[in-house]
Structure 1
Amino acid sequence: MTRVHVAPTLLDAQLAVDALSSLGIASRILNAHAAGALGELPFAQAQPEVWVDDDALATRASAVLAALRAVPTGPERVCARCGEPNPGNFLSCWHCGQALPD
């Protein structure tokens, strides 16, 4: 196993594992419950970590996660159906689900 990501939150770690899983890269979260030990453990040792099971896929997994963090947000977009403003990185409207134009 190889560590490919240290996440600031458990949610961030789970999103990373889900992204890797969608590409067929088996991974797991270590330190998932260590936040309860903050104060007893140093902060850096209590952060959730994403590890891949296959060491041969570690470089690919790191590249995938780096690319996800580097996604530009772009300008805000307004939904054509409901008129709701959406952040630039959304693919569909958060309010009505309509696909947003590119």
Structure 2
Amino acid sequence: MLDQISAFCVKDWICLHTADNPAEIGYVRGLLEAEGISTRARSMDLWAAAVEIYFAEGARPSVWVRVEDRARAADVLARADRRGTSADWTCPNCGERLEGQFTSCWNCDCPRPDGE
């Protein structure tokens, strides 16, 4: 994700992430907003048309954050990248085996222990 950060600024907002589809934009916005970082999405309506023209410049869906939030937002995405490659883990409360991307147990809602 971080390799897609752009330096293009518009009125105190910066394009942090571009994607090939709106679903990824929704995921990234959710990560950032959960950390209290305001976001804006751009070019969401152009996505279907852009597929036809192979994502003309500016037509790809994108997530924008305030310039002052850029470093913190980039850190949130970096942590998400690392979490996405986590190994499977076992819930210490109920013993359920869980895939690495989960941060809490689906069975008992116990949070994933730090370091796993």
TM-score, structure 1 length as denominator? 0.71
The answer as to whether partners of 1:78 and 1:84 remain within 8 angstroms in 2 is yes
CA distance in 1, matches of 2:105, 2:56: 37
Identity of aligned residues (%): 28
Match of 2:80 in 1: 68
Moved more, 12-21 or 42-51: 42-51
TM-score, structure 2 length as denominator? 0.64
The CA deviation string for residues 49-78 of structure 1, in whole angstroms up to 9 with x for no partner, is: 1001x212222212221221122311x235
Match of 1:14 in 2: 26
Q: Which amino acid aligns with 2:48?
A: G
Q: 1:66 to 1:101 in 2, by over 3 A?
A: closer
- Is residue 61 of structure 2 the alignment partner of residue 48 of structure 1? yes
- Identify unmatched segments of 5+ residues in structure 2: 1-12
- Identify unmatched segments of 5+ residues in structure 1: none
The answer as to whether partners of 2:21 and 2:47 remain within 8 angstroms in 1 is no
Find the partner of 1:77 among 89, 97, 101.
Answer: 89
Q: Which amino acid aligns with 1:92?
A: S
Q: 1:33 to 1:84 in 2, by over 3 A?
A: farther
CA distance in 1, matches of 2:76, 2:86: 17
Q: Which amino acid aligns with 2:33?
A: S
CA distance in 2, matches of 1:17, 1:66: 14
Q: What secondary structure is seen at the aligned counterpart in 2 of 1:33?
A: coil
Displacement of 1:92: 2.6
CA distance in 2, matches of 1:42, 1:57: 30
CA distance in 2, matches of 1:92, 1:78: 10
